[in-house]
A and B are shown apart, each in its own frame.
Chain A
Amino acid sequence: MTGFGVEVRDLTARYGTTTALDAVSFTLRPGVITGLLGRNGSGKTTALSILAAFRRRTSGTVLVDGEDPWENERVLAGTCLVRESGDVANDQKLKETLEFLGDRRPLFSRELADTLMDRFELDPLSRPDRLSRGKRSAFGVVVGLASRTPLTLLDEVHLGMDAPSRYAFYDALLADWVEHPRTIVLSSHLIGEIERLLEDVVVLDRGTVLTMSDAETLRSGGITVTGPAEAVEAFVAGRDVVARQRLGRTAQATLVGTRADDASRARQTGLELGPVALQDLFVHLTDRPAGATTEESR
């Protein structure tokens, strides 16, 4: 009862001489909220554009709900990509755009759209070309959620929104997902806030897939160690330290990879262990020469 699954195999996309995606493979589980993470220019938008048939692929296989999305009436009707630029008629009233989509999207909910318009304080009589960046993004969210498509792709939509709007977006997303489970992709290079919303994570870097797993597994792949500087150094000696911070005599180190005796060792030496933020792991993963990390994660 869940929505479209996605399977991407050896997907390559080139623009002229630039290779935006280089033999990328990943899957999106149906009915799961997945984070597509990557730095700017990592190929996120290109990948999503191909899934939604906004553009053609150069080679490789893309299956959305088991079929090639290109010119596929059924799959496209169930796929909605919202980009930050917002692909809506710029010179039409927001109200008219909602009516337009209501006529075309089989599962569009005008009720949800109106509720969200209120929550984001969007005037239905306004037009996209008269809105601020944040309000335009908010309208993109309205379109993306109210379409209730079995595959909803939200490409960095939350970045331009202010904090109250972002929280309203997260709340609306979760509440509506519970009522109408579907496959949702949130793409971003800022992970902190959306980290807990995600069940799965795909990390793209320079046109290749670095990591693909559920968020919990990825997060549990690392720890932070906090305590007296010397004790911390002794603890992390010989291990993969991703980040170090120091405040006076207290230090914190972020480690990738855990060991069974970490907890007891920390206790013995009076150190505190903490969770790693996905954002830190992400920065670590994408901060290396692409070749080295790719080999490791495969």
Chain B
Amino acid sequence: MFDGRDPLYVQIADQIRADVLSGALAAEEQVMSTTQYATTFRINPATAAKAFTELVDEGVLYKRRGIGMFVAEGARERLLEQRRATFFTDVVEPMLEQARVLGITTDEIVARLTTGEQR
């Protein structure tokens, strides 16, 4: 867990975003507190707090005073929108780059995508 190359707080934020996107965390659901996060994963609490601050700023989470952090209404939709916007630059283009290096043609990719969809 959290052994990627990005700063730790970015990885924590990404993890929560992924959970919101996949539906593992529903709207209005309470997320782990900074303390729980820090102690569960043995991470500096200030670092964990940075991730939560970022998510609150983005509107993914919101704070209920004295209770904790919750997933914001519409967070998933907003994240989906963002991800869709960056899907081609972040995922497809690197894939095409790889394909070029490996000599895989566009037809082969399309064929694979089509069978993938059918399965």
State the A residues within 8 Å of B (CB). 32-33, 167, 170-171, 174-175, 177-178, 196-199, 215-216, 219-220, 223, 264, 267-270, 273-275
- Asked if B25 is at the interface of the complex by the 8 Å CB criterion, the answer is no
The 5 sampled A-B contact pairs (Cβ below 8 Å) are A175-B35, A196-B44, A197-B43, A216-B9, A264-B94
- Contacts A174-B38, A175-B39, A275-B4 hold; do A270 and B45 have CB atoms under 8 A apart? no
Shortest distance from the beta carbon of A41 to any chain B beta carbon, whole Å: 28
A267/B39 in contact, CB under 8 A: no
A residues in contact with B3, CB < 8 Å: 274-275
Given contacts A267-B97, A268-B97, A270-B98, contact A177 B5 (CB under 8 A): no
- Judge whether B5 and A267 touch: CB under 8 Å: no
| Contact partners of B39 in chain A: CB under 8 A | 171, 174-175, 178
A178 to B31, CA, bound (A): 17
Contact A199 B47 (CB under 8 A): yes
Residue of A nearest to B46 (CB): A199
Whether a CB of chain A sits under 8 angstroms from the CB of B7 is yes
Task: Please indicate the chain A residues that have their CB under 8 angstroms from the CB of B64 in the complex.
Answer: none
Decide if A171 touches B34 in the complex (CB within 8 Å).
Answer: no
Report chain B residues within 8 Å CB of A199.
Answer: 44, 46-47
Main secondary structure of the interface of B (DSSP, over half): helix
Contact status B45-A216, CB under 8 Å: no
Q: Let me know if B8 is at the binding interface, CB within 8 A.
A: yes
The answer to whether B101 has its CB under 8 Å from any CB of chain A is yes
Residue B65 CB within 8 A of the other chain: no
Q: Are B45 and A174 in contact (CB under 8 A)?
A: yes
Q: Which residue of B lies closest to A197 (CB)?
A: B44
- Evaluate contact between B42 and A171: CB separation under 8 angstroms: yes
Question: Are A197 and B7 interface neighbours, CB within 8 A?
Answer: no
Q: Which residue of B lies closest to A274 (CB)?
A: B5
Instruction: Answer whether A174 and B5 are a contact pair too, CB < 8 Å, given A269-B101, A270-B98.
Output: no
Q: Are B5 and A273 in contact (CB under 8 A)?
A: yes
Q: How far is the CB of A204 from chain B (nearest CB, A)?
A: 20
Which B residues lie within 8 Å of A220 (CB)? 7
In Å, the complex CA distance between A275 and B5 comes to: 4
**A198 to chain B: which residues have CB within 8 Å?**
44
Residues of A within 8 A of B34 (CB): 178
**A267 to B38, Cβ gap below 8 A?**
no
- Find residues 59-84 in chain B having any chain A CB closer than 8 Å to their own CB: none
A130 to B10 CA separation, bound complex (whole angstroms): 47
CB distance from B16 to the nearest CB of A (A): 17
Q: How far is the CA of A199 from the CA of B7 in the complex (A)?
A: 12
Q: Which residues from chain B contact A196 at a C-beta distance below 8 Å?
A: 2, 8, 41-44, 47
19 A-B pairs besides A196-B41, A220-B7, A270-B102 with CB distance below 8 A are A33-B46, A171-B39, A174-B35, A174-B38, A177-B45, A178-B38, A178-B39, A178-B45, A197-B43, A197-B44, A198-B44, A199-B47, A216-B8, A216-B47, A223-B5, A268-B98, A274-B5, A275-B3, A275-B4
- CB-defined contacts of B47 to chain A, threshold 8 Å: 196, 199, 216
Q: Name the distance in Å between A244's Cβ and chain B's nearest Cβ.
A: 18
Q: How many angstroms between the C-alpha atoms of A178 and B3 in the bound complex? A: 23
Q: Annotate B5-17 by CB proximity to A: 1 below 8 A, 0 otherwise.
A: 1011100000000
B43 / chain A contacts, CB cutoff of 8 Å:
174, 196-197
How distant is A256 from chain B, measured CB to nearest CB, in Å?
14
- Top 9 A-B pairs, shortest CB-CB distance: A178-B35, A275-B5, A216-B7, A196-B43, A199-B44, A199-B46, A178-B45, A174-B39, A174-B38
Cα A270 to Cα B44 in complex, Å, equals 33
Residues of B within 8 A of A268 (CB): 97-98, 101
